[in-house]
Chains A and B, each alone.
Chain A
């Protein structure tokens, strides 16, 4: 015991650098969730308690499934990094407000399971987990995952469906202001355009979000839609219409920017964002889906390894 009393003071030994910027995974996820709060509030304003129900159920399921997975995999639980909550919230934003409970549970569970935990947890997932979950339920239970079929007791109309089945004139019933304010039918959070833009701007101002991908995404949409609009203004709506409908803004700021499935270099990010934007409009014009934004994100994410090959020459390389 006497030996312990005279033991020299020991200091912490660690690898350099000994400073850190203070940014942590938990902190970043919290910022993302905070940025989604305005859109969540707007969703409750338009759709009432059913929207809250879907969001709560989705988040709770995602957290429970991740905790269970960690238990089964005999790992330290990773739910405290808030990524499961964020994934659940993003999935809820892509679902209709009246989605049946089992659909929400399936979507959230599959997001975490197939989207993330099968690949070893956060950091391993090749695709954005929320989009994976959405794609599975949207393809498996087409009617239940479709806002047009589920949200019946509403005066809102879905401009994209109108465009697909009734033509340009029907689609233009909804004014630009209404679309900005979220007065259009769609997935519960994806159509709150102004609130999502505010969230994205907040993240960019805090330095959490790099604007390369969102801006390239929006530019891709505007460019492609602009070309179609110029080719035949009688059939194709204006580029701004494409920008403000469906889940373009949500995908640009929150789905495509999922760090694991997006490239890391600036040129790669721009190419990735442009691909997402171009594919969104192509799917809308030629595809069978009124809105193909999440599919465009999935498609572009498959090419991330190729975009990652666009890298600058290292210092001193000839």
Chain B
């Protein structure tokens, strides 16, 4: 077995290629309202299919010309191709064409609203005295940040101009892996160690400011910047995301089935392999490749079935390997045992909230326990307990 490498450099980053032309798209919804669109409605590229009730989560739009085949709470399914007329002789129904929205000269609040309606989530662009552009590849095995910085500088700079309007920072820092020649207009460049986990936002901020705190800093990834840049260039809704698949970087339409993307990249997973949306250390494994690509996805990783020893439910043997690799300097072994035995208060006492969820503890675990899973469970339970407590207090008043 070859040991995985944690280098964040790919060595060679090919050009960003166009993704597959899907015959059907499944646009994932994240709390979006499904009242916006009906079944069988014709849609154009850029037609609004679902609005989000929040003020900062982007709306969902159709990436293709087609007809809405199904609407569920989780996804909107659109089949490609022009709509068929209901009766013979009638003209086929069509959706109105989508006009570009001018973004120049808008005030901060108007720009925020405009971006949300164009499908860009603006929650991460809070006002701050420092804006850091995270130009490191998010995880080992991904190389889109590198590819975008090398090849799509103009788009990134347009995106950066819009983000700067929202964040209003006096200074902008671009964090790049050591040895990279990438620059962006108006950015100070900071070179970081190109070894995972240095690409995690808290660690990037620490390397830039020297402080272990995210207060007063807004971090934007190059991938998000590229999305905003595309919107700025076209004035049309954001319906694409850039994915690393194998050794390729693909510009994929949101909702494209994972199977199509894998086929385009020439990656063929066998049954029982793991197909992971995201990188190998933090990504989410999916059971089926029918699901659509979501906005903000940055990688599709295939892990062969027998490549690594499987996770077990064995007891922690207290070897301390997780402690040695933890960038948050917490004791994952102790915390996960507390969570395992439902001692959530003890887990809190041992600073479970400081975990950055980098996945290295589970990677190094001799007993092969699902450490990150336990930590996420603990965090979620503590959050639920806290919200239940708040609800009780409000009732008592």
Which residues of A does B touch, CB under 8 Å? 8-25, 28, 120-124, 210, 259-260, 262-266, 269, 308, 311-317
Name the residue on B nearest A311 (C-beta).
B331
- Also in contact, A16 and B362, with CB within 8 A (given A124-B315, A314-B329): yes
Q: Is the CB of A16 within 8 A of B283?
A: yes
Interface pairs A-B: 6 shortest CB-CB: A123-B315, A264-B320, A17-B359, A314-B354, A15-B373, A314-B351
The answer, yes or no, to whether B98 is at the interface (CB within 8 Å) is: no
- B330 contacts chain A at the CB level, 8 A cutoff: yes
Q: Which residues of B contact A124 (CB under 8 A)?
A: 315
Among B308, B364, B372, point to the contact of A16 (Cβ < 8 A): B372
Measured between beta carbons, the chain A residues less than 8 angstroms from B190 are none
A266 to B359, CA, bound (A): 21
* B280-A11 in contact (CB<8A): no
Assembly CA distance A8 to B258 (angstroms): 13
- Whether the pair A316, B320 counts as a contact (CB closer than 8 A) is no
A17-B368 Cα distance, complex, nearest whole Å: 11
How many whole Å from B334's CB to the nearest CB in chain A?
A: 8
Chain B residues bordering chain A, tally (CB within 8 A): 63
Cβ–Cβ contact B280 & A123, under 8 A: no
* Chain A residues within 8 Å of B314, by CB: 25, 123
Closest beta carbon of chain A to B162's beta carbon, Å: 30
Complex partner residue of B333 from A8, A12, A264, CB under 8 angstroms = A264
Residues of B within 8 A of A (CB): 1, 3-4, 202, 212-213, 269, 271-276, 278, 280-290, 301, 303, 305, 308-309, 311, 314-321, 323-324, 327-331, 333-334, 351, 354, 356, 359-360, 362-368, 370, 372-373
25 contacts between A and B (CB under 8 A): A10-B272, A11-B285, A12-B305, A14-B285, A15-B373, A17-B360, A17-B362, A18-B276, A18-B281, A18-B301, A18-B308, A20-B308, A20-B309, A20-B311, A24-B309, A28-B319, A120-B315, A122-B315, A123-B314, A264-B318, A308-B331, A314-B329, A315-B212, A315-B354, A316-B213
| Whole-angstrom CA separation of A13 from B284 in the bound complex | 8
Q: How far is the CA of A20 from the CA of B280 in the complex (A)?
A: 10
Chain B CB within 10 A, most for which of A11, A14, A269: A11
**Complex Cα–Cα for A264 and B325 (A):** 12
B281→A16 contact, CB < 8 A: yes
* Chain B residues within 8 Å of A266, by CB: 324
* B329 & A313 in contact (Cβ 8 Å cutoff): yes
CA A227 to CA B3, docked complex, whole Å: 46
Q: Which of A25, A260, A314 has the most CB of B within 10 A?
A: A314
A312–B303 CA distance with the chains assembled, in angstroms: 34
Query: Are B351 and A259 in contact (CB-based, < 8 A)?
Result: no
> Is B282 a contact partner of A17 (Cβ separation < 8 A)?
yes
Which of chain B's residues have a CB closer than 8 A to the CB of A18?
A: 274, 276, 280-281, 283, 285, 301, 303, 308
Q: Is the CB of A17 within 8 A of B318?
A: no
Q: What CA separation (Å) do A129 and B64 show in the bound complex?
A: 66
A25 B308 Cβ-Cβ under 8 A: no
- A21 lies within 8 A of B363 (CB): yes
How distant is A278 from chain B, measured CB to nearest CB, in Å? 22
Contacts A10-B271, A12-B272 hold; do A19 and B281 have CB atoms under 8 A apart?
yes
CA distance A11 to B359 in the complex (A): 21
Complex interface: chain A residues within 8 A of B320 (CB): 210, 259, 262-265, 269
B275 proximity list for chain A (CB < 8 A): 11
CA–CA, A24 and B319, complex, Å: 11
A304 to B122, CA, bound (A): 49
Give the residues in chain B near A21, CB-CB below 8 Å.
Answer: 3, 363-364
Would you call A10 and B288 a contact (CB within 8 A)?
Answer: yes
Sample of 9 further A-B pairs with CB below 8 A, known A16-B276, A17-B363, A316-B328: A9-B289, A13-B286, A14-B311, A16-B278, A18-B308, A20-B309, A269-B320, A315-B356, A317-B212
B253 to chain A, nearest CB (A): 22
What chain A residues lie within 8 Å of B368 (beta carbons)? 20, 24
Are A122's CB and B317's CB within 8 A? yes
Chain A neighbourhood of B202, CB < 8 A = 315-316
* Docked complex Cα distance between A24 and B327 (Å): 22
With contacts A22-B1, A22-B309, A317-B354 taken as known, whether A11 is within 8 angstroms of B269 at the C-beta atoms is yes
Other-chain residue from B212, B327, B333, B366 in contact with A23 (beta carbon distance below 8 A): B366
